[in-house]
Amino acid sequence: MCPAPVDESTPRGFIIPIGGGEDRVKEMQIHRRFVELSGGADADIVVIPTASMLEETGPDYNRIFSELGAGRVEFLPISRRADCDNPDFAGMLDRATGIFMTGGNQLRLSAILGGTLVAQKIRRRNAAGVPVAGTSAGASIMSEHMVAGGSSNAGPAEGNITLAPGMGLTNAVIIDQHFTQRNRLGRLLTASSFNPFLIGLGIDEDTAAFIGPDNVFEVVGSGTVTVVDASHLTHSSMWEARRGQALSLLGLRLDVLGEGCRYDLTARQAFPPDEHLAFCTLPDRSGNSGATGGKTQLQ
């Protein structure tokens, strides 16, 4: 599954995977930025709490976004596939200026939404410029290849991760969440070994990657985003490893990005925060760099 086609006259909307456990009481920095991108006082935000089994999840996020000044906030009470055919829900997504998927169980989310009208609407609205954010399970499902489960506190090994089809808002990355808190580097490295084309994003709690339409993301929050780039692997033992056997992966590149750092997913290059960028600029799409080349600012 590839991202929905983008009209050349309309930039794709931000894709915002959040590592879970985000601040929902104090500064609410990540949610505040999402509301701004969605239109602030003119925002029409639709929350999809399907991944969660808790009845209070939808109303809780409604409260958060309303307190942050969003003009309208509603949630879709989708708990079974038949709910996804509700024309009222389709209409709400058609007018949404921001879409937010909550945490919970990503397999529940994909099993209920996958291939439905609601999933198609989310993809098309993002392609039309609407920001889509998701936390924890809602972050995992954003990529074409979704981390469905696997071993924490383990090194890279054959069989220590389970993948499933995701929503396909992006086909450039594979996303894991609660990353440092649950020691998930080993399973992200395993995922990267399957196909080195994919860039692995390990996102900590209370941390988000704001991926812009130019495929450059900025880190927002109190933790880090770990980027695994396997494109220059010189050797991988994945294809011949036995079940449970430790993997050899030579030539990996790993970057750890804190708040304000940026990463160009096309050039596969990391950059420090703005105050450290005097002699470091993002390349333009021709691969050249210059004083004004390609640097992205969140509006």
Residue numbers annotated as active site: 136, 178, 205
Give CA–CA dist 27/43, Å, rounded.
19
Q: What is the DSSP string of 168-233?
A: -SBSSEEEEESTTTTT-HHHHHHHHHH-TTSEEEEE-TTEEEEE-TTSEEEEEESS-EEEEE-TT-
How many CB atoms are located within 10 Å of the residue 221 CB? 25
Q: What sign has the CA pseudo-torsion 241, 246, 249, 253?
A: positive
Residue 164 token pair: 């499933």
Give the pairing of strands 225-229 and 253-257: antiparallel
Instruction: Record the tokens describing residue 73, joined without a space.
Output: 């906030």
